[in-house]
Structure 1
Amino acid sequence: MYVSYKWLQEYVDLSGVSPEELAEKITKSGIEVEGVEALNKGISGVVVGHVLEREQHPNADKLNKCLVDIGAEEPVQIICGAPNVDKGQKVAVATVGAVLPGNFKIKKAKLRGEESNGMICSLQELGFESKLVAKEFAEGIYNFPQDVEVGLNAIEQLHRDDQVLELGLTPNRADCLSMLGVAYEVAAILGREVKLTVSQVETSTEKAADYIQVTVDAKEDNPLYVAKVIKNVKIGPSPLWMQARLTAAGIRPHNNVVDITNYILLEYGQPLHAFDYDRLGSKEILVRRAKDGEEIVTLDEAKRKLIADHLVITNGETPVALAGVMGGANSEVQADTTTVLLESAYFIGAPVRKASKDHGLRSEASARYEKGVDPNRVRPAAERAAQLLAEYAGGEVLEGSVEADSLTVEPAVVSVTLEKINRVLGTGLTMKDVEDIFARLQFETATDNGTIVVTVPTRRGDITIEEDLIEEVGRLYGYDNLVSTLPIGSATPGHLSPYQNRRRMVRRYLEGAGLYQAVTYSLTNEAKAAQYALENREPVRLAMPMSEDRSILRLSIIPQLLEVLKYNAARQHDSLALYETGAVFLANGSDELPEEREHLAGAVTGLWQTHPWQGEKKPVDFFVVKGILEGLFDKLGIASAVEFRQSEKDGLHPGRTAEIYLSGTSVGFVGQTHPTVEKEYDLKETYVFELSLKAILEAEVSPLHYVTIPRFPSITRDIALVVDKEKAAGELDAIIKEAGGALLKEVQVFDLYEGERMEAGKKSIAFSLKYFDPERTLTDEEVVKAHDKVLNAVKEKAGAVLRG
């Protein structure tokens, strides 16, 4: 809801309260003000000018040379390109030195050889949104009425010297979808009175009942329908002040009749509709549910098919409006309209919302009906609109209104005790304090032995229970005035469990290693459900899936990560590293809920490192991903208990896959996706891993043990072992470490050779062994003794021989 500060001043005395201060007070009382916009911000030096002469620019077909009186000693020449500029018009002129929105400064200029001393402005150039400019001025400059005095401030004449507050209303505060509702709210906040407009209009001797008859078949949907007739209407523009208030609220001006109905919508919160009486086609209004398949052409020239859930206004036979949403084109007020049938009705929200949603027509009227309008404003709104039509459209209001009334309106009566108010709010208010707050809200009250009984006005349909009354007291007393207290009783401070702490450690490590966290669907399809699963069980199928692609709970995270890689690769992001910690679901039979297990999975593809300056590019390979996992295991303190064993798995490359064991138990795998999978997903070489997160996070970890930096030198021995091609380096590594004893501190593989000089079926693996003792310098004899044990062990247990 957009609220004009100047318009609001007509209802409430705002002296001493700036728009910004008012916005702060409204926000603190419970309705958020999302912003305050000055409509004339950044504009200066714009005056009303009178075009005395206009002639074609001698050197340009699309430019006009105008002589304009701007209230100065002499008229000025201005070159203007607007197609609608002409002699005799009153226009907005940005004089030399003026500033327009966007800090656009006006200077003297020469256009095709002719001097220009200013600029004749369109409304868009003065800060109006294009969608709010009346159609006749949308493609050119704006023309003031002829009675506007030359030389006056054009911005003030356009009533743009105003500020607009944007209220972010919650659905329950439909009362503030009107200027009167906001006025009641602001008056309560400031403790001031509300000044209401009294509608008085002279009527003719003719009676409205002689022109129209109203019948409502759908009484539950439309308990009150009021019709008034106004004759001899002259269609024209509405007054500038009214147009300004409409545009400030985000509504485009059309003509005086339509603008008046929109003005009442904003003022009273009561939607109105004006029919061209002569185009109505009968002397009857019948409100009913639509017939299935019935059609109506609405004001936007769209043909709409109706169903029985829609409420329509008809001329007895043909629909002329979609009730509460939009009128029909067959009864639209046009330039030749002389007699207006004015509708003011109380429609129930449900059918209005149904029609609005079905046809994609969300209007200012439907929004108010959906949230609920004040039934006691239906008649006053019609009277106020009739008064304005008489005043600004020259209309002759016929005596009386024609009504179909089955509405019973009883204001809500809600009671609450003073004890409960103070207990809930933590205050020490007296009954007099509470009565004063309700008096500011203009609620009638009565007290009885510590209980206050409140009669709630019908404009506040959101107040129905005692908690609503307590909220009203609290927000008007001031949330800032509520005492801050600590809860009484014992409390346990929150903290992360060991599992949660270690899971957070995993995420931080992987992100530090360069992987992005992904969050993917837990639902997949039958083809992908069992791919890469650590444990194969029957997949769990949803009873009512929304689609086949999301019908089965996943057994592995990797298929979803591959989908993410495919999505990014299709958008030229082909080097990506992802991880996810999430649940997989294992079936426990048809009668039990599935078991949820948390897994850690990752997928890496493309370049792992790129240094364009050095011309170096390093694509990801098996050992990059294996190294990431080894660093993770080291971070978790379980590296010594982890073993990688070569294996084969469906969907993975048979020669680049390893199963991961923790203390002899398989906890996951790492490997390259099979080339056929990479082709299916259109990926480069891609490496994936998946681990049971529960297994690695709940593994027993040895106490942290610190070792002093050695003060004595170490001795390194390199050996190249010739073994069978099937022999794994990890197996040799384990044998070497076991045989090396306490003096052997480090073992590293640094070379693999399988060239033509190696006999068939054999390979050479080179290891670097480091020996040292932190307490003394080792002798050659001690190192040779330990090293011989290693050589004997690899020979006996692995059949390895030293390469000559």
Structure 2
Amino acid sequence: MLVPIEWLKEYIDVKADINEFCEKMIMSGSNLETVEHFGEDIENVVVGKIVAIEKHPDADKLLVTQIDIGEDEFLQIVTGADNIFEGAYVPVVLHGGKLPGDKTIKRGRLRGVESNGMLCSAGELGFADKVVPVAHKDGIWILDQEYPLGKDIVEVLGLKNAVVDFEITPNRPDCLSMIGMAREAAATFGGTLSYPETECEKETGKAKDFIDIEIRRPDLCKRYVGRIVTDVKIEQSPWWLQKRLIYAGMRPINNIVDITNYVMLEYGQPIHAFDIRDIADQKIIVDTAQEGELFTTLDGTERKLNQNMLLIKDGKRGVAIAGVMGGLNSEIKSDTKTILVEAANFDGNSVRSTSKKLALRTEASSRFEKGIDPNLCETAADRVCKLIEILGAGTVVKGAVDAYPEVYEAEPVNVRVDRVNAVLGIELSGKEMEEILESLEMKVLRVGNNMKVTPPTIRQDLEEEIDFIEEVARIYGYDKMPVTLPKGNLEAIKSRERTLIDLSRETLTAMGANEVQTYSFVSPKGVDYIGIAEDSWERNFVRLINPLGEENSVMRTILTPNMMEVLGRNFSRNISRVRAFEIGNTFFKSLDEEELLPEERQSMVAACYGEGESFYTLKGMLEELFAKLGIDETSYIPESEYGVYHPGKCARILSKGIELGIMGEIHPDVAEKYGIGTKSYCCELAFDQVMKQANIERFYKPLPKYPAITRDIALSVKEAVTVAEMENVIKEIGGKLLESVVLFDVYRGKQVLPGMKSVAFSLTYRASDRTLTDEEVVKVHQKVLGALKEQLNAVLREM
């Protein structure tokens, strides 16, 4: 909301300088974006009168003018503007004059003709193109009246002004108006708010003789006020009105349109004016459109409506899209003589839906969307008529046609003085609170320590006691409140999930892996690049409705493609060795058609490449991670059908029969697609399942009192037999006396037969209640060897 300070002072006498004003308004809850100062960078620009115009002797598009600036001699200036005429009053930049943007104008020659300055357009004086008046949009700025010649243009036109851009939150639509901000300033600085004049002095006839209004959808239109003005004269607005619109960010068009925009900015109530000649049967009907109905708006665009869009109709057709934009068929024209002034209140949700579906957002729709007080309609319509009377732009017809099915009144709320002080941590009396609330135009009935507070109907955000406590706080001053630490009896602890994630991160980082974070929005081609089958669950994507591009059009179901991009990017930058991991969310489209939200799961991916890295180094990292998380009895089952990994170097990871993930060496074809020119290794875990299996509770176990007995064995076994199978047999037969099994060697060479390998384990036996005898150990050990031979045909080798 752009607030010109000069305009604001019409309603409240603020004596503070601009810095103090901004600081105090911020402290009372009105946040601001910027403060812009106009007119301060304009120097040596004066009022001039064009007394003669001749064609340039050597240029068809240039004119040579003689300018009277109140001195003995006329000033000769060459210009290319084609909208000037003799007798026009214009802004003239003299030699050495300065314009916004650090522009300095000096005398010179144009095509051989001396030019002693420059005639100015509105844009050259610092006004943005979007707010330059329509009458001066192209060409030199022709002043609207005869000003003293040679006078400083900044002083004559009052161009010096500070404009504050306030950030208005959606819950405060009342502040989307000059009076709303003046009300805030009055409460902040303690002044008295002066409201604009709305009562006309000369009125004739009766409004009901000109128009009839019917609301057929009172649920979508709470109120519709219509006033009539006759003998309308369409012309430019006076400079004072144009200036206020310009500084508030709106382009002046003509007096009637400018007045409606002025009142919208003043009160926050959108206004629309119809040429009453175009209102068939002298009727206004507020109803929804027909499905597929075509309607041409003021911008000349034909729009297709549906049956849920509210339409302002006359006796035969639509004339405006309610709360959004008027129709081209009833716009104000240069020969318009009688107008209908509309001030209506439309349902915010309906306006928002219509505006969104038509892709048509206007100043009016943005205000209706946030909610407007229906009691503003009559006042705003009266203010439009008063301004028309002040400007002599027409004759106001007496009275209004007011369709108001259900009058809106604010409900009183009980506010406890003790509760206010308890929440804010201050000690204010009931009288002080009453004064603060009344400064915001609330009605307060105080009985002892209880107040019955009725907010003005413009404050639709005040519904509960806590809302009024906030009002007391911001006007009293947040800077005056004592600083205290928050109180509570809740213990700040990590959740189990967060604890497990942090422990995993610490463990992987301690093993030399770097944590990475990648985007959740990915390309659906990622699963193609890693060789995922067409019917795989990894393709159950959640697709974005409005993606920025194909490369981020779906939400990821798997982290591996992202990690492969990380490895590829590092390899392309000559990073010789990488260990990386990511713990993040994956998303799956719900299989239940009635469930709109996707399923969200935690996943973990780890990968590596470079010197010293192999399938077993990655497996070792996983085993260390599982140990830290208290997950035992893990097994690795060979997998040859998963396209991401090398068929002979891939394994699924299980714990107690539940699959935790998959790991392996990246398939050469996949590595090539990502530009990785070396062997790389990766694993992806269903981290939700990992966390379910985790057990990080630790119990004290005393050191063993009795010695252990160790037996090393080397077994000759067929190549197809896995180490895991051998370990499972040893642990099953070893029973309670077997404390640990450690693999320490796998040998293939001349001393073993072809197709065979030698696998060496170290077995540790110990009893918790006694010293084991050699006979006890030999008995168990022989059973282990016998079971290995019987089940796996593993034969003991000579060490």
Same fold (TM over 0.5): yes
Q: For residues 309-331 of structure 1, what are the alpha-carbon distances to aligned partners after superposition, in whole Å with 9 as ceiling and x for unaligned?
A: 22222221211111221111011
Q: Letter of the aligned partner of 1:689 in structure 2? A: C
Q: How does 1:386-397 map to 2 (within 5 A)?
A: 386-397=385-396
Partner of residue 453, structure 2:
454
Structure-1 separation of matches of 2:463 and 2:695: 54
Matching of residue 6 in structure 1 with residue 6 in structure 2: yes
Q: 1:554–1:348: structure 2 CA closer, same or farther, 3 Å change rule?
A: closer
CA contact (8 A) 2:321 2:327 kept: yes
Structure-2 separation of matches of 1:596 and 1:368: 38
**CA-atom RMSD in angstroms:** 5.2
Q: 1:217–1:488: structure 2 CA closer, same or farther, 3 Å change rule?
A: closer
Matching of residue 324 in structure 1 with residue 323 in structure 2: yes
CA contact (8 A) 2:95 2:116 kept: yes
Structure-1 separation of matches of 2:97 and 2:615: 69
Q: Letter of the aligned partner of 1:582 in structure 2? A: G
Unaligned segments of structure 2, at least 5 residues: 699-718, 720-753, 755-794
Structure-1 separation of matches of 2:601 and 2:306: 50
Structure-1 separation of matches of 2:405 and 2:635: 83
Q: CA deviation at 1:173?
A: 0.7
Partner of residue 291, structure 1:
290
Q: How does 1:727-746 map to 2 (within 5 A)?
A: none
Q: CA deviation at 1:34?
A: 1.5
Q: Letter of the aligned partner of 1:298 in structure 2? A: T
Q: 1:688–1:363: structure 2 CA closer, same or farther, 3 Å change rule?
A: farther
Structure-2 separation of matches of 1:346 and 1:543: 40
Partner of residue 369, structure 1:
368
Q: CA deviation at 1:439?
A: 2.2
Matching of residue 558 in structure 1 with residue 560 in structure 2: yes
CA contact (8 A) 1:523 1:551 kept: yes
Partner of residue 260, structure 2:
261
Partner of residue 67, structure 2:
68
Q: Letter of the aligned partner of 2:605 in structure 1? A: A
Q: 1:647–1:488: structure 2 CA closer, same or farther, 3 Å change rule?
A: closer
Q: How many residues align?
A: 694
3-state DSSP of counterpart to 1:517: coil
Q: Letter of the aligned partner of 2:643 in structure 1? A: G
Q: CA deviation at 1:56?
A: 2.6
Partner of residue 401, structure 1:
400
Partner of residue 768, structure 1:
none
Structure-2 separation of matches of 1:12 and 1:363: 29
CA contact (8 A) 1:231 1:339 kept: yes
Q: 1:266–1:688: structure 2 CA closer, same or farther, 3 Å change rule?
A: farther
CA contact (8 A) 2:636 2:654 kept: no
Q: Letter of the aligned partner of 1:169 in structure 2? A: I
Unaligned segments of structure 1, at least 5 residues: 605-619, 702-725, 727-760, 762-796, 800-804
Q: Letter of the aligned partner of 1:371 in structure 2? A: K
CA contact (8 A) 1:223 1:406 kept: yes
Q: For residues 274-318 of structure 1, what are the alpha-carbon distances to aligned partners after superposition, in whole Å with 9 as ceiling and x for unaligned?
A: 111223343222222222222221101111222222222222121
3-state DSSP of counterpart to 2:219: coil
Partner of residue 118, structure 1:
117
Q: 1:541–1:290: structure 2 CA closer, same or farther, 3 Å change rule?
A: same
Q: CA deviation at 1:224?
A: 2.5
3-state DSSP of counterpart to 2:205: strand
Q: 1:650–1:627: structure 2 CA closer, same or farther, 3 Å change rule?
A: closer
Q: CA deviation at 1:337?
A: 1.3
3-state DSSP of counterpart to 2:217: coil
3-state DSSP of counterpart to 1:458: coil
Q: CA deviation at 1:157?
A: 4.3
CA contact (8 A) 1:647 1:658 kept: yes
Matching of residue 651 in structure 1 with residue 643 in structure 2: yes
Matching of residue 127 in structure 1 with residue 129 in structure 2: no
Q: Letter of the aligned partner of 1:327 in structure 2? A: G
Partner of residue 582, structure 1:
584
Q: CA deviation at 1:237?
A: 0.8
Q: For residues 76-135 of structure 1, what are the alpha-carbon distances to aligned partners after superposition, in whole Å with 9 as ceiling and x for unaligned?
A: 222222332343222222222222222222223333333332222222222222122233
Q: Letter of the aligned partner of 1:38 in structure 2? A: H
CA contact (8 A) 2:82 2:139 kept: yes
Shifted more, 139-148 versus 233-242: the winner is 139-148
Partner of residue 231, structure 2:
232
3-state DSSP of counterpart to 1:143: coil
CA contact (8 A) 2:298 2:327 kept: yes
Q: For residues 557-594 of structure 1, what are the alpha-carbon distances to aligned partners after superposition, in whole Å with 9 as ceiling and x for unaligned?
A: 2134457899x99xx9999998532256999x99xx99
Structure-1 separation of matches of 2:177 and 2:161: 18
Q: Letter of the aligned partner of 1:91 in structure 2? A: V
3-state DSSP of counterpart to 1:196: coil
CA contact (8 A) 2:324 2:365 kept: yes
Q: How does 1:176-575 map to 2 (within 5 A)?
A: 176-488=175-487, 499-505=500-506, 517-520=517-520, 556-562=558-564
Partner of residue 610, structure 1:
none
CA contact (8 A) 2:564 2:674 kept: no
Structure-2 separation of matches of 1:62 and 1:508: 74
Partner of residue 605, structure 2:
601
Q: 1:262–1:555: structure 2 CA closer, same or farther, 3 Å change rule?
A: closer
CA contact (8 A) 2:646 2:668 kept: no
Q: CA deviation at 1:366?
A: 1.7
Q: CA deviation at 1:52?
A: 2.3
Q: For residues 401-441 of structure 1, what are the alpha-carbon distances to aligned partners after superposition, in whole Å with 9 as ceiling and x for unaligned?
A: 22323231323211111111111111111111111112211
Partner of residue 780, structure 1:
none
Q: Letter of the aligned partner of 2:159 in structure 1? A: R
3-state DSSP of counterpart to 1:52: strand
3-state DSSP of counterpart to 1:382: helix
Q: For residues 490-536 of structure 1, what are the alpha-carbon distances to aligned partners after superposition, in whole Å with 9 as ceiling and x for unaligned?
A: 675668977555555578789x9888531335997997799689xx9
CA contact (8 A) 1:412 1:458 kept: no
Structure-2 separation of matches of 1:274 and 1:579: 64
Structure-2 separation of matches of 1:624 and 1:373: 67
Structure-2 separation of matches of 1:131 and 1:551: 36
- State which of 653, 667, 673 in structure 2 corresponds to 1:674: 667
Structure-1 separation of matches of 2:113 and 2:620: 77
3-state DSSP of counterpart to 1:236: coil
Q: Letter of the aligned partner of 2:683 in structure 1? A: E
Q: CA deviation at 1:176?
A: 0.8
Q: CA deviation at 1:338?
A: 1.6
Structure-2 separation of matches of 1:450 and 1:700: 55
- State which of 678, 682, 689 in structure 1 corresponds to 2:682: 689
Q: 1:62–1:555: structure 2 CA closer, same or farther, 3 Å change rule?
A: closer
CA contact (8 A) 1:540 1:594 kept: no
Q: Letter of the aligned partner of 2:21 in structure 1? A: L
Q: Letter of the aligned partner of 1:690 in structure 2? A: C
